[in-house]
Amino acid sequence: MRKFIKHNFRLFVIASSAIFVLMIVWTVFGTRHTIVQPIEYNHKIHVEEADLICIDCHLSVETMSSAMIPNIEICQECHSDEPFTDSPEEIKLLKYIEEEEHIPWQKIYSVPDHVYFSHRRHVSIGDLECSNCHGNVEELESPAPYPSWEPTMDNCIDCHKQYKVTFDCLSCHR
Amino acid sequence: MPKKIQYENELDAPLFRPIYETGKGFYITVGILMLIILWALIMYITQIWFGLGVTGMNQTITWGFYIINFVFFIGISHAGTLISAILRLSRAEWRRPITRMAEVITAIVLAIGGLHPILDLGRPDRVLNIFTSGRLQSPLLWDVTSITAYFTASTVYLYLPMIPDIAKLRDKGGKLTWFYSFLSWGWQGTEHQKKVLNRAISILMIMVIPIAISVHTVISYIFSMTLQPGWHSTIFGPYFVVGAIFSGIAVLLILMIVSRKVFHLEDYLKKIHFQYLSTLLLIMALLWFYFTFSEFLTGIFGSEPHEMEIIHYKFTGPYALFFWGMLLLNFIIPVIILSIKRFKTITGILIASIAVVIGMWLERLNIVVPSLANPRMELPIGIYIPSLVEWSLFLGGIAVFILGFVLFSKFFPLISIWEIEEGREEGIKEVEERVHSYLPGKETGSK
Amino acid sequence: MPKWAMVIDLDKCTGCGDCIAACKLENNIAIVSPEEANDGRVMFWMDMITIYEGEYPNIRVKRFPKPCFHCDNPPCTKVCPVNATYKNEEGLIGQIYHRCIGCRYCMVACPYTAKVFNWLEPEWPDEFKNCFNPDVSLRMMGVVEKCSFCAHRLLKVKEDADSDEREILDNEYLPACSESCPANAIDFGDLENKESRVYNLSRSSRAYREMEDLGTEPKVIYLQKRE
Amino acid sequence: MEIKRREFLKLLGGVSGAVAIGTYGCNQVIDVPERLIELAKKGLGIETWKNTICGQCPAGCGIKVRLVDDIPVYIKGNPLYPVNQGGMCPSGHSALEVLFNPDRIKEPLKRIGIPGSNKWEPLSWEEALQKIADFLIKQRRNNKSHQVAFLDGSEQNSLMSEHIAQFMKAYGSPNYYQYPSVKNDSVPYLLLQGTQQIPSYDFLNTKYVLSFGSNFLEEGYSPIYYTKLYTHLKELTEKKRTRFVQIDSRMSLTAINADRWIPIRPGTYGALALGVAYILIREELYDNEFVSKHTFGFEDWVDNEGYTHLGFKSNVIGNYYPEQVSKITGVPGETILEIARELGNNKPSLVLGDQGSADNTNGTYSQMAIHSLNALLGNFGKEGGLYFTDQPPLAELPRVQEDELAVKGNSQPPIGCTYNTSFKIMDFSINSFTKNILSDNPYPVSVLFLYKGNPLFNALNHHDLAEALKKIPLVISFDSFLTETSEYADIILPDHTFLEKWDEYSNIPSVGFNHVGIQQPVIEPLFDTRNSANILIELGDKIGGTVSGSLPFENFEKEIKFRVEKIYRSGEGAIISEGLKGDWLEYLQQRGWQVGRYNSFDEFWKLITKHGGWWNPIKKEKGIKNIFKTSSGKFEFYSQLLKEWTDELVLMKGNDSHQNRELVLSELNINARGDQVYLPHYEAVPVDEHMPLYLTTYKLLTNRNGQSSNQPMMQEMFGYTSHQSWNTWAEIHPATAKDYGISNEDYIWVESSTGSIKLKAIVNPVVMPNVVAIPFGLGHTSFGRYAKGHGVNPNSVMKNLYDSLNGNPALQATKITISLAT
């Protein structure tokens, strides 16, 4: 082995460096970067303890194209003054509420502006479950770091194929 | 300083000379051409950066120089392969010094022409959509396929007959031996190899002809498949093919004359070659005029209003000068020169061919622009003035072509040596036999 | 399956040009610089054609708005090498800006010169970026665009119809031009639906289509009294 | 005259169709929980619609603004608003480009450079207002309140105008003027029938409309209203259809849509009208009964001194026989015969006159001649004739309290027009206004307020006007943009754009029913601007005393409410609402259009702001007697008012002598003498040696009065008819072009005795030979990045000619010559 290395050392160097570079590239691009939310929102508790359902907070999910990410105006309907739990996250929330500043939620599901996606169409007309695209959020103890389902055109088309609904470009593109 | 390579004592020394002796002229030409190409490149980058707005096109006249030149270059490409194939097929002995040059032209020009549609794209970054989501119905897609086919065919057709010569160069040794030996595929000139080569060539030359025809027919389809007056005509296929061969021969003649002067090939490219080729040119000129004439005659006779609008515009409109210029350069000048013995000198032929090349370019312009300048809707008639970018890209194209040719002449013999030799050794005998076999009387020696 | 069509009554149309403005506003159509405009690169999805007939002083000026005709047998879609423009089953000719490679073949093929090209990157001052119509995506440099019969409105109207399980009403889905035409000259609706205004108008004796001889079968039908 | 239900439905046809449209896009919001809409506005794309009134031009159309997340993104016509019934004109659509215009003035500015040098520094509101208030108070204390002038460029019947008038009166200055002034336009009607109101025309029932240069589809008071009427007529069956004949020297938009276009030499409309009158009288085609009953001065008559006076009839018969007329007008005699007969035989038939015929030195007389045709046809108070709308039951502003300072100030002569050379009837003449300022006659002007408008761009005497503005110590502009004019202001108090402010419009001239539109903010003010009305109130308070007492309102909104409350009380008419359908009308008819379905004013207010307006299409029955407010109580062919006032002028000169009369008449440059002066007659327009061609200008729908020039969309669309963007062009008849060796799209010099401009020529047989038609609107030297330096302003080559009777500029009177520009 050593003999081999000694004999064609150059090749060895090249090969090893190549492998090294590959590893770097892998680590940088391979892992999809995660999104950190300002508040470690816990869906599970809200669904199970406070037995809320999605539409209680995502108000417009059945009526409009965007489902709406709830913000303090909606949170404060329950979280008014003293915290229910002793979780630091709730303290954060209350802080936001009393300072009346909006929670800078990070959007993780988004489509480009030349695509028309309507929750109303999919949820109230198409009778899809939220989980079809968003995974079972009820089980999440902390906000999803990345979309459970990438809203790319291919994925859309696959699903549309599966449900035998329109492929017409104009039905999504505008 | 590597040792001088011996070729002077060769029989075909003049054919080796340009390869082994590099004069100042070579470097100057290459330098100038490089500069032009660089400039064109810069221009293209600006176009990509700012968008097609830098050209002179507008909402009504949406096709300009790029498409014109596309058609023009592809047209020229018909010079080579087609001609050489036909000549080979007809066993014309005088073909031997010509074929190589012809094929070179094809290969280079086709590469340039094929790229022109990409210059014309608003979003070259998406060009691959053609493959990911192509639509077979679109003539543009037919083009892509047929041009690529033609390109591969003609390059192979150029390459195969070169192998024996490359082998010769390899045997001469020198710095580039590795390069030649790589290209020569271990050619030793054995009987078997010769047999294989000849069969390959003869298969290719039969294949190439229909492809060549198809290419230009398809290009004409780009126009004739639309409903535009002046384009929507069945004659366009053959019309374009004829035009293509026409311009092709002209370019071939120009190059032959030039390289004859530059590389002192008077001994190989004799007057007779030019005589024959220019006769072919004359025939094409007449053929071209016939097509043009019938094209316009049908238009005028039918006198469909929009059709007439276009024709009237061509005759009298802002581009009228170009139209009449086209007729002059494409028909009158070449016919006068080539049909009168006294004018049919080398220089005369040169003038005629140059005239034809320019004329054919004007013809493309006359096909593309006027139809677009007169939309069927009563919109204000647009006028198209090419911008600096378009001009420089046109020049760049030509520069690339010349550069390609010069470089080729630097590395490979412009005239197929082994075919010449073959001519000396077997050709004469073979022809003699052939002639005998045509004549009445007993069979002589024909196996 | 509906088949959307437009009827333009030239006897009513005064040629006020409102449709052009409405269209430009609704569809975020770029406004090119004066120099560009001078080079004939203005972008109107809805254009106004003027024809002068007769001798002075008895001139008849015929002025008619010209959108994309959304032909039933469109010459443009056939030639598109990448399917960026196509005809959907409701008869709308779609233009997918993000697939278009900008070869402009469709523009050349269209006998009505209904399409326009983004010669340069469309630009607006930041202030105007506020009032973009969020329903219509912006185009980028080097793509072809054209009248879409305001298809983005159809998406919403369809949603409304589906959510209360009914057909789309006549006059519910209207493009911007027909909606705000002061002369009510532009009618829009479903050619398949026997009750729709458009269906009945398209059968009137005054109905004609531009260049019917080309066989493109435009779905924009003009009404004009023959003298 | 009760409006018939049939026509009324016809009128509403547009609406009932459009109601469905009106709801487009609203559904999406409907089933969204109300709570949500307050909760989260941003990012959701919540769509709401607000109704208001368009301020792009004086036409006052109702518009519906589409807001997404409270940001206006689209504008369309309000389908319920009776004036435009969902219709719009191009410039209306570009209103958003006014609101979001990058060149808006964002805060009060103080000029630091010399006038016209565009150098400014910001100023705080308090500072600015205090400065102005102090100045005004000082003026007042020194009995110089009358030296404060106010120029109101909004040609609208808006509350704002009354508001300003109120302020000025209370402050004590007679110098509140509208420019351009609607009052001026109505002078002919005043002279002939004593009422200063623009008539409305009952197109729906008339058989034949003869329009003397009235470009009502393009330049009229409310083009879209007329477009609607025009369309309803087109819907009628062939035999019932009204026939339009347009007489104009250029084929305007109206002419294109007319059934026939008759080209005529500019400035000779009056002659043609009288020529038509000649035929009507000769062939007994006129309404004899009406003429004998309700007109004065038709036949020759004897006054109480025993003098015999020339009557209209003998005047016409004597001077306006077809050959003569066709020599003047260039209209062939047989054409005159034809139109006159058609007019007489297709009663009820209407005669209109405006722009083309009015904008000339002889405008008033031409209009009188044209209007007297209506009298011959007896078109008053009858179906298919012309009528005058009632006033909406709005509350009058509280009576102005004048302290002695105010009284003294108001008693001063107004400087908008000088009495010893012009009539009382003249409301305002920018010409004399400028002259007076420059000559301090009768007194200097020390403060000038400018509200809307752009006189320096529009006026023909802009050089003098600029000088005048320089001369005035304190010029205050309420403009939201830096225009040519406001560049001369010392202080600019930026106003809201009309999408951010409150105002109220009532009875747009010549619209056929009385209506009130509420203009309300659709978006919070983008910048630190203020509603000029509120500024006036504030200034009033700062001045205090009776001035603040006369504007006893907290802010303008309250004032509007106060006005509208009276409508609620009166119970007349109805708020425009989706209920206005056929069946509902029946009910209204029975109840005499009384709509008592609002429980409280608050509800009424809520509804009227929601829908954007109120209207009452039912006209009160009023006899022909009440139409004519003249001394004779009749329609006066022989205008006694005019006589009266000329005599007054003569007396001003001293005694009633022949040479004084001559003097007065020449000052008024009236060529006619004797009784003709008081009768409709043809006044020759000034001729100009070596200037063979006529220059006529017109305004396009895309840019009225050049106030849309700072909107890129309108600039691009400016010449959509001839595919000209961002620049001005000149239309020339092929024959004329040939004479001057000009071919299409050439650049030419248009030269008059005052200057020359270079522009593109469009050779086209849509103008008559020897006439060059240029659209007005472009050629700004200021007014923001989009307006500046594009196209040319035809007014810059116009001679400073005016109609001396009503003071209107003579836009058609300049003679020019053209040459090929190399």
Q: What is the pLDDT of residues B162-180, one digit of tens each?
A: 888 888 888 877 777 788 8
CA D627 to chain centre: 22
- pLDDT attached to residue D194: 87
Residues of D in contact with A65 (CB under 8 A): 45
pLDDT at D2 over 90: no
Residues of B in contact with C68 (CB under 8 A): none
- pLDDT attached to residue D5: 37
Smallest CA–CA distance, residue C167 to chain B, in Å, is: 34
- pLDDT attached to residue D128: 92
CA B99 to chain centre: 13
- Interchain contact A132–D (C-beta under 8 A): no
Smallest CA–CA distance, residue A126 to chain C, in Å, is: 9
- Interchain contact C157–A (C-beta under 8 A): no
**Interatomic CA distance for residues B304 and B309, integer angstroms:** 9
Is A61 found in the same domain as A25?
A: no
Residues of B in contact with C214 (CB under 8 A): 227
Q: Decide which of A103 and D281 is more confident.
A: D281
CB contact under 8 A, D721 and C32: no
**Interatomic CA distance for residues C213 and C199, integer angstroms:** 21
**Interatomic CA distance for residues D255 and C63, integer angstroms:** 12
Smallest CA–CA distance, residue D102 to chain C, in Å, is: 6
For A68, the domain range is 43-172
Is A26 found in the same domain as A47?
A: no
- Interchain contact A111–D (C-beta under 8 A): no
Instruction: Give the orientation angle of helix D601-611 with respect to helix D556-570, to 10 degrees.
Output: 110
Q: What are phi and psi of D175, to 5 degrees?
A: -100, 50
Question: What number is the average pLDDT over the span B57-74?
Answer: 91
Per residue in D199-239, pLDDT (tens digit) is: 888 888 888 999 999 999 998 888 999 998 888 887 776 66
- Interchain contact A171–C (C-beta under 8 A): yes
Chains near A with 3+ CB pairs less than 8 A apart are C, D
Contact, D410 vs D173, CB < 8 A? yes
Question: What number is the average pLDDT over the span B133-146?
Answer: 89
D490 — pLDDT class (breaks 50, 70, 90): very high
Q: Best mutation site among B61, B62, B146, B219 for testing chain C: the one with the most C CBs within 10 Å?
A: B62
Q: Best mutation site among D42, D74, D81 for testing chain C: the one with the most C CBs within 10 Å?
A: D74
Smallest CA–CA distance, residue D202 to chain C, in Å, is: 18
Residues of C in contact with A114 (CB under 8 A): 97-98, 137
pLDDT at D358 over 60: yes
A30 — pLDDT class (breaks 50, 70, 90): low
Contact, D472 vs D448, CB < 8 A? yes
Q: CA of A63: which chain C residue's CA is closest? A: C163
C·D CB contacts under 8 A: 182
Is A11 found in the same domain as A83?
A: no
D596 — pLDDT class (breaks 50, 70, 90): low
pTM for this model (two decimals): 0.89
Smallest CA–CA distance, residue A89 to chain C, in Å, is: 35
How does C8-39 read in b/e, with b if 16+ C-beta sit within 10 Å?
A: bbbbbbbbbbbbbbbbbbbbbbbbbbbebbeb
B442 — pLDDT class (breaks 50, 70, 90): low
- pLDDT attached to residue A5: 63
Tell me the three-class secondary structure of D405-440, residue by residue: HHHHHHHCCCCCCCCCCCCCCCCCCHHHHHHHHHHC
Smallest CA–CA distance, residue A60 to chain C, in Å, is: 14
**pLDDT-above-90 percentage for chain D:** 42
Question: What number is the average pLDDT over the span D408-437?
Answer: 80
Per residue in D436-485, pLDDT (tens digit) is: 899 888 889 999 999 988 899 988 888 899 999 999 999 999 999 999 99
Residue ranges per structural domain of chain B? 19-56+387-414, 63-100+136-377
Interface of B with C in 281-320 (CB under 8 A): none
Q: Looking at the domain assignment, is residue A38 inside a domain? A: no
CB contact under 8 A, A68 and D45: no
Per residue in D3-51, pLDDT (tens digit) is: 443 344 344 333 333 333 333 333 333 334 444 545 444 556 778 889 9
Q: Looking at the domain assignment, is residue A75 inside a domain? A: yes
pLDDT at A105 over 60: yes
Q: CA of A120: which chain D residue's CA is closest? A: D28
CATH number of B63-100+136-377: 1.20.1630
- pLDDT attached to residue D44: 66
> Which of A25-34, A75-84, C26-35, D436-445 has the least mean pLDDT?
A25-34
Is A24 found in the same domain as A62?
A: no
B417 burial type by CB count under 10 A (0-12 exposed, 13-18 middle, 19+ buried): buried
Q: Looking at the domain assignment, is residue A37 inside a domain? A: no
Question: What number is the average pLDDT over the span B236-242?
Answer: 90
CB contact under 8 A, B137 and C78: yes
In sequence order, which residues have a C-beta less than 8 Å from that of residue B78 and are 6 or more positions away?
Answer: B106, B212, B215, B216, B241, B244, B245, B247, B248
- pLDDT attached to residue D40: 47
- pLDDT attached to residue C84: 92
Name the token pair of A162.
């599966």
Is A147 found in the same domain as A110?
A: yes
Name the token pair of D271.
């002659």
Q: CA of B133: which chain C residue's CA is closest? A: C82
Smallest CA–CA distance, residue C71 to chain B, in Å, is: 14
pLDDT at B11 over 80: no
Smallest CA–CA distance, residue B143 to chain C, in Å, is: 10
Overall number of domains in chain A: 2
Give whole-number Cα distances, B44 to B55, B110, B120, B129, B362, in Å. Answer: 11, 20, 10, 21, 23
The yes-or-no reply on D/A contact (3 CB pairs or more, < 8 Å) is: yes
- Interchain contact A74–D (C-beta under 8 A): yes
Q: Looking at the DSSP assignment, which residues form a beta bridge with residue D694?
A: D771, D815
Contact, D777 vs D675, CB < 8 A? no
Residues of C in contact with D20 (CB under 8 A): 169, 171-172
CB contact under 8 A, D74 and C56: no
- pLDDT attached to residue B3: 55
Q: What are phi and psi of B315, to 5 degrees?
A: -70, -40
Is A124 found in the same domain as A49?
A: yes
Q: Looking at the DSSP assignment, which residues form a beta bridge with residue B445?
A: none
Smallest CA–CA distance, residue B306 to chain C, in Å, is: 11
What does the mean pLDDT of chain C come to?
90
Q: In terms of Cα–Cα distance, which of D144, D99, D270 is closest to D805?
A: D270
Q: Best mutation site among B116, B118, B126, B367 for testing chain C: the one with the most C CBs within 10 Å?
A: B126
Name the token pair of B264.
């002192």
Q: CA of C112: which chain B residue's CA is closest? A: B377
CB contact under 8 A, C40 and B117: no
Nearest to D33 among A59, A65, A71 (CB): A59
Nearest to D39 among A64, A65, A74 (CB): A74
Nearest to D32 among A60, A71, A73 (CB): A60
Nearest to D87 among C57, C134, C182 (CB): C182
Question: What number is the average pLDDT over the span D251-274?
Answer: 92
CB contact under 8 A, D40 and A66: no
Tell me the three-class secondary structure of chain B, residue by residue: CCCCCCCCCCCCHHHHHHHHCCCHHHHHHHHHHHHHHHHHHHHHHHHHHHCHHHCCCCCCCCCCHHHHHHHHHHHHCCCHHHHHHHHHHCCCHHHHHHHHHHHHHHHHHHHHHHHHHHHHCCCHHHCCHHHHCCCCCCHHHHHHHHHHHHHHHHHHHHHHHHHHHHHHHHHHCCCCHHHHHHHCCCCCCCHHHHHHHHHHHHHHHHHHHHHHHHHHHHHHHHHHCCCCCCCCCCCHHHHHHHHHHHHHHHHHHHHHHHHHHHHCCCCCCCHHHHHHHHHHHHHHHHHHHHHHHHHHHHHHHHCCHHHHHHHHHHHHCCCHHHHHHHHHHHHHHHHHHHHCHHHCCHHHHHHHHHHHHHHHHHHHHHHHHHHHHCCCCCCCCCCCCCCHHHHHHHHHHHHHHHHHHHHHHHHCCCCCHHHHHHHHHHHHHHHHHHHHHHCCCCCCCCC
Contact, D628 vs D186, CB < 8 A? no
Question: What number is the average pLDDT over the span D528-539?
Answer: 92
- Interchain contact A8–D (C-beta under 8 A): no
Q: Looking at the domain assignment, is residue A36 inside a domain? A: no
pLDDT at D580 over 80: no
Name the token pair of D153.
């460029």
Which run of H or of E encompasses D208?
A: strand D208-212
Residues of D in contact with A66 (CB under 8 A): 43-45
Smallest CA–CA distance, residue C81 to chain D, in Å, is: 32
Q: In terms of Cα–Cα distance, which of B408, B404, B410, B405 is closest to B20?
A: B410
Name the token pair of B356.
């034809």
pLDDT at A100 over 90: no
CB contact under 8 A, C182 and D25: no
- Interchain contact C160–A (C-beta under 8 A): no
Contact, D608 vs D51, CB < 8 A? no
C20 — pLDDT class (breaks 50, 70, 90): very high
Q: Looking at the DSSP assignment, which residues form a beta bridge with residue D761?
A: D730
- pLDDT attached to residue D279: 93
**pLDDT-above-70 percentage for chain B:** 96
Is A124 found in the same domain as A64?
A: yes
CB contact under 8 A, C18 and D87: yes
Query: Nearest 5°: CA angle at C201, between C199 and C206?
Result: 140
Chains near D with 3+ CB pairs less than 8 A apart are A, C
The yes-or-no reply on C/B contact (3 CB pairs or more, < 8 Å) is: yes
- Interchain contact C164–A (C-beta under 8 A): no
Q: CA of D35: which chain A residue's CA is closest? A: A59
- pLDDT attached to residue B228: 87
Per residue in D42-58, pLDDT (tens digit) is: 556 778 889 999 988 88
**Interatomic CA distance for residues B154 and B111, integer angstroms:** 11
Question: What number is the average pLDDT over the span B260-264?
Answer: 83
Per residue in D299-339, pLDDT (tens digit) is: 998 888 888 999 999 999 999 999 999 999 999 999 999 99
What does the mean pLDDT of chain B come to?
86
CB contact under 8 A, A68 and D33: no
Q: Looking at the DSSP assignment, which residues form a beta bridge with residue D246?
A: D211, D261
Smallest CA–CA distance, residue C172 to chain B, in Å, is: 31
Is A106 found in the same domain as A20?
A: no
Nearest to C51 among B123, B137, B378 (CB): B378
